[in-house]
Amino acid sequence: METSHVMTNPSILEPEATSNSVGWRRLSPIALLYVLVNILKFAASNILYLLPALVVGWNTVIEYPHYLALAALLMLTLVSVYSVLTFRAYRYRVHQGHVEIRSGVLQKTALDLPYERIQNVRIVQPIYYRFTGHVCVELDTAGSSDQEAKLYALSKSYAEDLKAEILQKVALGADINVDAESTFADHSGEVIINQRSLFDLVLHGISSNRVWIMLGALSPFTDEIIDYLEAASSYLDLDLIAMLDPTKSSLVTVVVFFLSLALTVFLVLVSLSILGAIITFYGFTLSRDDERYIRRSGLLTKHEVTIKLSRLQQIVLKRDWLDMLLGRVNVKLLQSGSTNNSETAQSKNLLVPSVTPKEAFELSTDAWPENRLSGITYKRIGKGYMVSRLSMFSAVLSLISLLGFTLNNSNVAIFCLITLPLLALAIFIRWWRWGYAHDEQYLYVRKGFLGVDQCIVPLYKLQQTRWSQTVWQKSANVGQLKIVLASGRQTVPFVDKTEGIKILDDALHRVEDLKPNWM
């Protein structure tokens, strides 16, 4: 018999968990599945290190297959035992505005996380928890990932109640003993401001860089792929060598073959990229509830990420060259505690995939109504950027050409002559894209090469500023402007000194006047 979920203070009770005499609680037995899956994921991610041993001992494995079965059985037993021990060692309690966790088998860990340090409350429902109605709650902080808490196998209603209490405590900054009725999750105030259709996700899969990442990942296995194609052609009784021999086949046949092969590989990778986008962003909705953004998405694993608008640090409108051809923009809402870890970054930042330019400007205006990105006029950085880069590359290519002539290799000089105009064109495009503008509250930065990124940086949230000049930049009266925020930094080179100093002075005066609490 399940009791009703009532939030009590100072401690929240989880009816499905068992407790001991001091208020510490165990997870529901279904949590064993979560622990087991995580261990298997860890093993799969590290199996690459075992490949050399498997390759060396493959003949032995084929000769004695019962050893492989015995090793697999032993591994399964160890994983099962470790999962049970991990589950038994896990204790948690929510007590007086703190989330406390005790865990670990070989290495004991104690975590005490006050509500005030919680930056995001993320509710995740893996596919294997949908049948039981359980979810995982991830509590992110602005610090390292070691200081983040995970409560798994909680009932969905309890997780919503816990989320509501934490968010209310952080928002009000008041005493933890709030009214019990007000702590229940209430979605009646949510307004959906953006949704993504399946067609939008297909476009995102096509334009994202997953395809190029996959191509790069396949490059070390070129020899294996060639061997596989040779084996497949032998099985199909096709003589590829004769087919591609210019003396036996026409040039058209050879070209058509390679184009067909390249197109087939590319289509397979694009299909995988589209599938990845659908799995990640299926059912995407971005809602606003007062001063909070809530993102929900996921096909196999449902994710719910909540961030406070006050913690928003940057808005980036990102367009790759394919996005520009398709007329789409990826909007990134970056907040404090940004990280290079993709999984953690997904929970701390919000990405709205493949929106139209109009929708992108509407999203930026919804977050910061005072920003003027849609009508801003950018000022390009100084032309000295082109001169300095071109001079540097010209000097390097000249040295390489001189070395080639010394070694009686004229091909090196020809290569440098061909490369220099291409580099000059790339430098010019880079300079043409790079621009900046500012008003009383925001710095706007545009940059890119084949694509274009537009960044909105609130000057009142800066944490550090820097103005630097090289020796010859001083004579040209230009320099480099750098602004550091909690989510990262923005650098604009070859800015006019008068304007750069004015931007920094205005920003510092605004911070001094407002004394904003960026957290």
**The model's pTM:** 0.73
Whether residue 291 has pLDDT greater than 90:
no
| Amino acid identity, position 260 | S
Contact 344, 142 (CB under 8 A): no
Residue 34 has pLDDT above 60, yes or no: yes
Regarding predicted confidence, which is higher, 232 or 184? 232
Residue 348's contacts (CB-CB under 8 Å, 6 or more residues apart) are 119, 120, 140, 307, 335, 337, 338, 339
* Mean pLDDT, rounded, for 380-406: 89
More confident residue, 506 or 210: 506
Per-residue pLDDT band at 516 (split at 50, 70, 90): low
User: Tokens 């909690």 correspond to what residue?
Assistant: 486
What is the secondary structure of 361-418 as a DSSP string? HHHHHHH-TT--GGG---EEPPTHHHHHHHHHHHHHHHHHHHHHHHTT-HHHHHHHHH
Question: What is the edge-to-edge ordering of all strands in the sheet holding 488-496?
Answer: 464-468, 478-485, 488-496
The Cα 473–Cα 510 span in angstroms is: 28
Which DSSP symbol is given to 517? Answer: -
Q: Which backbone phi and psi does 486 adopt, to 5 degrees?
A: -65, -25
pLDDT digits (tens, 9 = 90+) for 91-131: 888 888 888 898 888 888 888 888 888 877 888 888 888 88
**pLDDT tens readout for residues 299-350:** 988 888 888 888 889 999 999 998 999 999 999 999 865 454 555 555 568 8
pLDDT at residue 402, rounded to an integer: 86
Q: Which two tokens stand for residue 130?
A: 């949908």
The per-residue pLDDT of the chain, averaged, comes to 80
Which of 420, 416, 436 minimizes the C-alpha distance to 428? 420
Percent residues over pLDDT 90 in the chain: 26
**What pLDDT is attached to residue 2?**
36
Q: Count CB-CB contacts under 10 A for residue 499.
A: 14
Task: Name 124's bridge partners.
Answer: 136, 303
Instruction: Please state which architecture CATH assigns to domain 31-186.
Output: Roll (2.30)
pLDDT of residue 174: 40
Percent of the chain with pLDDT over 70: 76
With left for phi above 0 and alpha for psi between -120 and 50, is residue 327 left, alpha or beta?
A: left
User: Which span out of 425-439, 481-495, 499-513 was modeled with the highest average pLDDT?
Assistant: 425-439
Q: Across residues 193-205, what is the average pLDDT?
A: 93
- For 121-134, what is each residue's pLDDT tens digit? 888 888 888 888 88
DSSP-derived letter for residue 300 is: S
Rounded Cα–Cα distance for residues 184 and 160 (Å): 7
- β-bridge mates for residue 365, sequence order: none
Number of H helices, E strands in the chain: 17, 20
Return the residue matching tokens 């991990």. 86
110: β partners: 102
**How sure is the predictor about 176, in pLDDT bands with cuts at 50, 70 and 90?**
very low
- On the question of a cis peptide bond just before residue 493, with omega within 30 degrees of 0, the verdict is no
